[in-house]
Amino acid sequence: MIYNYTVQKRKANRISYRIVGIVFFIVAFLQFITLLHGYVNHFMLTAVFAGALGFYSLYLILMSFRKQAYDISYKFSDEGMLVIHKYGETLYSYDEIEFITMVIPDESLIYYMLNIKAGKEIYAIPFTNKREYCEKIYEFVNSRIKKND
């Protein structure tokens, strides 16, 4: 039995993260320019603010290129969990999967989520209007992973 599921990500989200990161970087750069020319009254406070804003802008830009920012397809088969992402494929055997949890925020909501920790990665797989499919995948994977007692 093979279960396939694809999580669609919006390109507009990646672009907006990059734009906000660039704007923050420009603000931090301009703050450093004013520091160098001596136009500020509170030198250390402005330096800390500009440095934090600069590092946060770089974080936003770099995180918009991570593999979880793009569409990801998951294939659950008897061999393991195959994750197909923008930068290639990663196959995790069920021995590598440490845990799987199914998150149900509220019974009245239409949103379900699987959290899977495999190796160093933690995958949060959202399911909207697909409760039965989420439960099938959870039971399929949970029956195959190694339990630590």
pLDDT at 131: 83
Residue (of 64, 99, 72, 77) closest to 88 by Cα position: 72
User: How many CA atoms lie within 13 Å of 26's alpha carbon, on the beta-carbon side?
Assistant: 6
Q: Tell me: the pLDDT tens digits for 22-37?
A: 999 999 999 999 888 8
Three-class SS state of 5: strand
DSSP state letter for 146: P
Write down the pTM of the prediction: 0.76
Give me the residues of the chain with pLDDT under 50, please: none
**What pLDDT was estimated at residue 149?**
53
B/e letters for 69-104, b = 16+ CB within 10 Å, e = fewer, are: bbebebbbeeebbbbebeeeebebebebbeebebee
Q: How far is CA 31 from the centre of its chain?
A: 31
